[in-house]
Structures are given as structure tokens and as C-alpha cells.
Chains A and B, each alone.
Chain A
Amino acid sequence: MMRTVLRGVRVIDPARGLDAQRDVVIEGGRVTAVGEGAAAGIGAEARDTRVIDGAGRWLAPGFIDLHTHLREPGYEYKEDIVSGTRAAAAGGFTTVCAMPNTRPVNDNRAITESMVAKARAHGLVRVYPIGAITRGQEGRELTEMADLRDAGCVAVSDDGRCVTDAGVMRRALEYATTHGLVVVQHAEDHALTRGAQMHEGAVSTRLGLKGWPRFAEDHIVARDLMLADATGARYHLAHASTAGAAALVRAAKERGLNVSAEVTPHHLTLTDAAVLGYNTACKVNPPLREAHDVEALIAALADGTIDSVATDHAPHASVEKECEFAEAAHGMVGLETALALLLGLVHGGRLKAARLVEALTVGPARAFGFEVPTVREGACADLVLIDPARVWQVAPERFASKSRNTPFAGRELVGAVEMTLVGGAIVYENPRPEGV
């Protein structure tokens, strides 16, 4: 049996508050030893053993992405379960939750089962589907949520569309809670964003692009939090993008509401100014906001108001981005750049390393009710090895994803995933020599 040994690695394990140099031994899909000198007796020449020098590197539980668009079924030209999970592995993610805006929409047991089967057979990382809240994501009739749950869905969401009808949202919260599912809301009042292309502000006015005002997000969040309070449901806010949404979630948590929220790496690192020049790579939904929103989101992530970072990995083919801005699709790929972008916040002193790891592991696990990942004896060996200092340049042509729609092409980033393990098996190893 193959054994992997990490010698002298910085183990960051937020689940038990550990952040220290340790040896880690992995065998039979599990962590079998964590400790100072735990690998003392194991030499580099030991049989069936891979010994890795952990000096200068971090070992953390594998990341969990609550918000991934794998595009299968229906949009395999953008991404599929194989390419999407390969991209996840390259980004250090060992679990991804697949959004239901596929074609057909994942709003019934048959679709969920086919996704689960495909992922089990061919996926590189664990895939948990998210079912739709309403049939066809049309915002009217509820999906068969007990069926969806039994088939493997871990949450429900109409992502890309908001459940704007308050009556439907109330019943969705009640019904999903009945069946133990979290409701994930894409908060956008479509009546306020008709034809919108980007954040509404001075930049949208300069560019002559129709704006998506902050309050189109905020007032849905405010309403949903009231509904969550009244129904006692588990509510999760997808991709918070405004200072107002962060403040609302903070106040709700202070009142003791059992709600959670996520933020994307791009909303933490880019502003609406990135759209100047009609850069379609920066066309995302919700849109990139202004500097004070970014500041508020970073603060909310740092203090735990926002529990998780999620990528909203949204692959699109080049023809869907190489066109007029108004015709371009919303979204950017995120799995393979997430860690390095977030490490930028750590290197810049805005976020503690342990908090970042927590927001990529414990936070999302708690939000969706997964077993809390940890690096301890007996734990499942879903792990990521990180070189926080490795300098690399984003080269979209080398992405494992089928799509290249990133605004970070050519950007030099600091910090990289060196190795990803799922159940003890190495599913990704950084192929590039140091310094490339």
C-alpha cells in the first residue's frame, strides 16, 4: 500500500486550532499520524513510501467550493465534470458543489443521479450537486426536494436567478428545511437590474452601460433574512458583493440567526474600474463593485461575518466573451486562481492564513452540513499542500478547465497549490518547476 509522508510541514488545521510544524503520515486514504517527529523512523528509501519535504509549505484540509459551475449536462463545450474536477484539483479543492443551471436544469432526481454517477466514475474530486429551488429555475413551482436530497443534492439554489417572489421564497425555505436542505440565494431583484451590464456608478455612467445598483442585492438579502428568521430555515447567501449585504448578514448573526454567506475571490480583489475598456472578462453577476465594498467584504471575511470563500467558477467559451460587452456572458473561471488571489490578501496583511484556510474548509463545511474537515489521526485524507511563496504567472492556456475566461491572464501571483490529495490519492501535483 502506498504511503505518503510529509516531513516538517506547517499544518494549518482550523477545526482544532492547530497551526504548527508537524510530520504527517497518510496511508490507506486516511491520515495515520500527525505529530512532531511522527515520521522520524521513515527514511526516504522506505518501501512504497513517498517522502515529501514540507519545509516552507503549508498542509491544510482540502478546500470545499460551495459554488461551482461544472456545466454538465448541457454545456460540455464550456466545462464538464472531468475538466471541472481537474481544475478543482489544480486549485486545491477536494470538494465542489455543482450549481443546477445546467441544460436541462438540475431540478429532478434523474439529473442529480446522472451527475453523481458521472462524478463517481470520472471525477477527480468529490462532487455534490445543488438542486434547483424551483422547476426550471423559473421561480414558481417548488422542486421535489426530498427526491433531490435522496439522490445526493446537498442544497438548493436557483443560482443565476433570484427567487424574487416573497411567497415562493417563504415556502421554499419552509419546505427545504423540512427536508434538511440549505437554501442558497442569488440575491438580485431582477426588476432593478433589467438590461444591467455592470455595477451602477460613475464607471457605468462613463461607459454608457446599464447599471446594477447595490440595493438590488441588499433589499433581497434584507427580506430573505426576515424570512429566514420567521421560518427558522437554513439560509445561505451566495456571492455577497456589497457593503450593505455584509452589514445585513452581520446584524442577522448578531441576532442569532443561523445564516451563512460566501464571497468570491474576484469580489475581494477587483473593483468596477476593472471593466474600463469594456473588458468582458470582468463581466460577472453580481458585478464587481467599488473599493469601499471590497474593503467591507474583506473585513466581513476576516471577522467571520462571511463564513466562506466560494469561487463561482463560471466557465464560458471564447465566443461568449469575444463579443460586444452587452452580448457577453456573465462569469469568470475561478478554481485555479482562487488560492493565489486570496493569498495576496494574506501577504498584504489583510487576512490571517488560518482564517483563510478556515473560510475554504470549515466555513463551507458548516454551511452545508458536511463533516468538518481536519488534519488529525484517523481523518479522511482530503488535503492540500501549498507553497505560499511560489511566484507564478497566470497562463490560461495551461488551465485544466476547458475555458479561459479570466481577467487575471498574465498576472503574477504569489502562492501556489503544490499537491492535492483526495482520500489519500494524489489527484494533482504542480508540474511546473520552481520559479515558473
Chain B
Amino acid sequence: MKPAARHLLGIEDLDPREIVQFLDTAEVFFDVSRRRVRKVPTLRGKTVINLFYEASTRTRTSFELAGKRLSADVVNISASSSSASKGESLYDTLKTLEAMRPDVIVVRHPHSGAPHFIARHTQAGVVNAGDGTHEHPTQALLDAFTIRRAKGRIGELVVTIAGDIAHSRVARSNIHLLTRLGARVRVCAPRTLLPVGVEALGAEVFTDFDAALEGADVVMMLRIQHERLTEALIPSTREYSRTYGLTAKRLSAARPDAIVMHPGPMNRGVEIDPSVADGRQSVILDQVEAGVALRMAVLYLLAAEVGQSPLT
């Protein structure tokens, strides 16, 4: 079931044309952020609520700036300061916000599918800013935007995604997006961090990191979280780093012009060596810059759709 275009719930719902529309629109807004006055009146009079049930600095700030640079009224709600801590259900929180007539709700939530639940119960447009271990569509879009700028294309590129694939919403969204645009996606992790049936998403599965890096155009590293140790998924960050950490030496197996990406936050010295993170092949800060432009594009395109179906 395809959600209405006023929502962005996941890349899995999008076709290549829709993906490219987001990327092309972001190109326009990318320039806005580099002007002296970084603001356009496009969404004046629109209300955007950032509803964050999980701690986030990067994504929340990026969405907030995106909304503000489009002249929308932006309100941030974080779970710690909201009714969630008083035991109010998501349904009631949502209905309360709904009564204030927002145009777009940007939601980050620790449970997979929470944005879908919200979308079923609101007139506003809903943007998934990361739900559990499901999807993080704007991250995949900004990654694609960054790759396209660096490489000039996405089709036919070999993209290696390494790290905690099982628990990564970034990995899922990127697999969906990159395969839809014709890239060859490799995922690499120890078997404890590979989800069952990941090959059905269209990715090629590797457990040998050096083999996965061979000839790659793009290397995307994912954060390894400490709770994976207590869940008996990896024995130590030391051994993980030794077997799956990206060093300059390992990176040399990739194409010489390969770019290195990381959605952040990084564990320097665990999944990525500082010399690589800060090295000439790194586009990690480009990703962050692209994030604002891309999210401006998303808010712009969705708010336009919301306007098409006035509140009843």
C-alpha cells in the first residue's frame, strides 16, 4: 500500500522518478544555504513540528534549519520534555498536536513503523526522520545527493555499506535507494550483525571486509553501538575494529577515487580510523551540508501536497 505523496515514510515506497525529484529539488536549495541571506519565503505561514522521541543533534538541527530557511514556523518537541514521560500515548500526543493544525510533522521514534501509525492518524504531512531499525529516508536521500555531486551519477557505482546492518535504518534506506537508481550495493558485517534475508532487498552480502572493499566507488561506514556487546553480537570493539574498521590501508583496496561516507555520529578508532574520517576521500561533512538542502526539498515538496488536501 502506497502512502499518499504528502508523506515520506520510507524509500521503499518511492520509485526512481520520485527519488530523483527530491535530489533535483535539493540542488536548488543547496545554493540558498550558501548565500549571504540563507532564507527564502517559500513556506511562510506553514507550521512544521519536529517530534523527536529519540535524542538527535544532527538530524533535528538539520530539519530545524531546513524549516527556518524556508520561513516555516518550526517547533521542536523532544520526548524528554513532552508528555511521553508522563505516560501519554503516541495517539493522544498526536491528536493534541493535530488540534494545533501543523502542516508537516517530522518524527523520529525508537519504534519501527511509528511514523506509519502517525500518518494514519493525521491530516498533516509526515516525514520519517528515523524509525527504530526500519528506515531513515532523508539520510539516504542526502547520501545519494552527496554521491551524485561527488561522482556525477549513481547508476553502476559499487557502494559498500559496512557495519551494524542488522540494526541500521540508514542501511535499509540506502539499499532501497541505491538499488532503485541502479547502483550495486554490497553490505558487509560479521554474521551476527547481518539481518536475515537482507539479500532479498537487493544487496550482495559479504563477511570479508577486504573483499567487500575491492573496487568500491563509495564506502559507507556505519556506527557500531556499545549495546551490541552486551547482546553478545560482537565480543569487543577491539576485535571489531581489527576486523571491520576502515583504515587507510584497507581503503586502498577500493578505487583510488572512492569516497568515504558516515551518517554520524562516528566512533573514531572503532569503525573508522581518524586519518580516514578526516582524509581527502572523506565526504562526511559534505553529507551534513547536503542534509539541510535535502530536507528543505522534502519539506517543500510535502508541504505543497498538504496544501492540495485542505483540512476538513
Contact = CB atoms under 8 A, between A and B. Distances in A.
B99 interface: no
Interface residues of B, number: 25
Interface of B: 1, 12, 89-91, 109, 111-114, 116-117, 131-135, 169, 172, 195-198, 200-201
Interface string A198-231: 0011111111111101000000000000000000
20 contacts: A202-B197, A204-B196, A205-B197, A205-B201, A206-B201, A208-B112, A209-B113, A209-B134, A278-B112, A278-B116, A319-B89, A322-B91, A323-B89, A323-B91, A324-B90, A325-B111, A325-B112, A325-B113, A326-B132, A327-B111
The secondary structure that dominates the B interface is mixed
A435 interface: no
Nearest to A318: B91
Contacts of A324: 90, 109, 111, 113-114, 117
A208 B135 contact: yes
Given A319-B89, A323-B91, A324-B90, A205 B113 contact: no
Contacts of A348: none
Nearest to A204: B196
A197 B114 CA distance: 14
A318 to B, nearest CB: 10
A202 B195 CA distance: 8
A206 B12 contact: yes
B34 to A, nearest CB: 35
A211 B198 CA distance: 13
Q: A203, A278, A324 — which one has the most chain B CB atoms within 10 A of its CB?
A: A324
A277 interface: yes
A208 B132 contact: yes
Interface of A: 197, 200-211, 213, 276-278, 319, 322-327
Contacts of B131: 208
B117 A278 contact: yes
Interface centre among B1, B113, B114, B200 (most CB of A within 10 A): B113
B1 A209 contact: no
Given A322-B91, A323-B91, A209 B200 contact: no
B112 A209 contact: yes
A201 B111 contact: no
Contacts of A211: 196
B89 A278 contact: no
A423 B83 CA distance: 54
B200 A202 contact: yes
A213 B195 CA distance: 12
A327 to B, nearest CB: 7
Nearest to A278: B113
A204 B166 CA distance: 11
Nearest to B131: A208
A73 B89 CA distance: 26
A322 B12 CA distance: 24
Given A204-B197, A206-B172, A278-B112, 8 more contacts: A204-B196, A208-B133, A208-B169, A319-B89, A323-B90, A323-B91, A324-B109, A325-B112
A203 B198 CA distance: 10
B112 A326 contact: yes
Nearest to B112: A208
A202 to B, nearest CB: 3
Contacts of B172: 205-206, 208
B116 A205 contact: no
Contacts of B111: 324-327
B169 to A, nearest CB: 6
B116 A277 contact: yes
